[in-house]
Amino acid sequence: MRNTELEKLGGLVGVWTTTMSDAWFLDPPGQEVRGQTTIDWLGESLLVVRSAMGEGAHHSEMSLVIGRSDPNDAYFVLYQDDRGVCRLYAMTFDGGRWIMSREDPDFHQRFIADVQGDRIAGRWEASEDQGQTWRKDFDLTFDRA
């Protein structure tokens, strides 16, 4: 039987065309990087998100596992990418707003997205001063394929 709170994320399941834009680290400015993201159920209580972005030397892959601690009434996300990076995020989702955040010693980071049917429009932000000020890393848009 599917976890009731995870079932609320069921609208995210599917294949998405992903576009990264307005990234401070991309040159030339205005460059967009396209990719694909697949979101699938893993059993009854986890979602797996797999993304591949770009091509050639600019290719990157990352994965998320979204789960939940029922006793703590909280979502959690485990992240890993092809650089060998592994991170843990807290997550909230109310059907229209999806937020993932972490407050780690290296820096704070968050993803804030609006979910509207076949489109997720979000942005990644970072803070090197423990959340006092934030800079946008990049916009990330998902369109249902």
Mapping DSSP to helix (H, G, I), strand (E, B) and coil, where does residue 73 land? Answer: coil
CA 80 → CA 15, 49, 63, 87, 134, distances in Å?
Answer: 19, 11, 5, 7, 23
Residue 28's pLDDT is what? 84
Which residues, at least 6 apart from 31, have a Cβ–Cβ distance to it below 8 Å? 21, 23
Tokens linked to 1: 């039987």
* CATH of span 4-144: 2.40.128.20
Which residues, at least 6 apart from 140, have a Cβ–Cβ distance to it below 8 Å? 18, 19, 20, 111, 113, 122, 123, 124
Q: Is residue 36 classed exposed, middle or buried when 0-12, 13-18 and 19+ CB atoms within 10 A define those classes?
A: middle
Each residue of 53-85: pLDDT tens digit?
998 777 899 999 999 999 999 999 999 999 999
- Assessment of whether the complete model's pTM goes beyond 0.75: yes
Query: Where do the structural domains in the chain lie, given as residue ranges?
Result: 4-144
> pLDDT grade, residue 29 (50/70/90)?
confident
Nearest to 16 by CA among 31, 38, 34, 44: 38
